[in-house]
Amino acid sequence: MAKANVDQKLKRLRAWVQNYEWGRSGAEAEVARLMALNSGAEIEADKPYAELWMGTHESGPSILVDDDEHNVGLELKEWIHINPNVLGVQLLEKWGSHLPFLLKVLSVGKALSIQAHPDKELAKALHKMKPNVYKDDNHKPEMALAITPFAALSGFISLQELKQVLEDTPEIVELVGIPSAKQVMDIEELDCAATADRVKPALRSVFTQLMSASKEMTTKAISKLKTRLVLESELRSLREKEELVLELEKQYPGDIGVLSALLLNYVKLKAGEALYVAANEPHAYLSGDCIECMATSDNVVRAGLTPKHRDVQTLCSMLTYNQGYPEILSGLPLSPYITRYLPPFDEFEVDCCVLPKGSSAVFPAVPGPSIFLAFAGEGTLKIGSWEGLVTEGDVIFEPANTEINFTATARELQIYRAGINSRFFHGL
């Protein structure tokens, strides 16, 4: 049975790998496994494999793997510009001839930076000012869907938790100053609206003072905190966040992100749960493997847990300073085999399809394009009367208005699909 493409229908893609230093090493990374299956590239045992990109962003473009000699080696972005109708009318009207989403797999070996992604207005300004740092002018809302247990920091903790942190962590108060800490401690949690008006500027002051602390003062404060926690661990069980702080200190000694982690929500996802992050919200992925989907952008404003360029002033000024635990998505079952994850962003949604051996699932035609990743297993895919093979590691671009049917053959087939958020087409 053919594994070749049907012209004007499906396009098989070679994904792009990013070897950022925080990635998992060698064969323990899902990214490495999928890369080897997708491209035939050899896995290097000591090399970090951080991200597998599937889309059109210029920092990691997907390439067509096609039986048509005219398309061999062509970037997906170029092919879409030549064939814009594959995006569908509504996409062309809203986003032009650009694929608005980027699908990734992440294998996180150590913490990513404490970061936020700019909204569209700020992205345009940053790209204009520093195009070598902020490489495009788009916003980057995103969603992480856990493949394995997955840990992250996301959004600011509640006022009550913040007061507790300031009470329990003199090392933070030393850096932010007693006036800033007192501003938070003096807020009464009575009138919600009035409280919110007072909390945001107080939280902003605390976070900005903390992130702006000198290297010398930061190193001293972290050293004190570490010594204190090690001593206390002999007398009591450390709290999860305290254990996390000690782990982050090992990964990034003397980094202000070790302390600022205490101001953020510690989120632990089970496989099959998803976390979405809007523009201007602080977050950091800590460990585990996930499917990630986002608007097509690579704009990141970093301020902690990183050896890369830091833009503390921009980060502290851009954040919303909203508080509270983030919403965790468990997915909406579309059928016995397909679960959909719908974040509140137009650009994307993600489906997870798990097909037991011998089972089939249909992805109905939708008015926008999709990218499919065969994560595990093998089977067949069918469009109309044409049928082909699909095996783990395959990445497939599907044009708008195309129905596709998958069947698991020798063993269970697990597929992820990224596409435009279905609410966009329904005007919701």
**SS3 assignment, position 39:** helix
* Cross-strand partners of 14: 63
User: Of 302, 310, 340, 417, which residue is the catalytic one?
Assistant: 302
Q: The tokens of 56 are what?
A: 């059109």
Contact 421, 349 (CB under 8 A): yes
417 among known catalytic residues: no
Beta strands 370-376 and 338-341 are unpaired
Give the span between the Cα atoms of 267 and 325, in whole angstroms. 8
Question: What sign for the dihedral angle of Cα 273, 425, 124, 417?
Answer: positive
* Cross-strand partners of 285: 152
Contact 340, 334 (CB under 8 A): yes
Give the span between the Cα atoms of 278 and 272, in whole angstroms. 20
Burial annotation 212-245 (CB, 10 A radius, 16+ → b, else e) = ebeeeebebbbeebbeebeeeeeeeeeeebbebb
Which residues belong to the active site?
A: 302
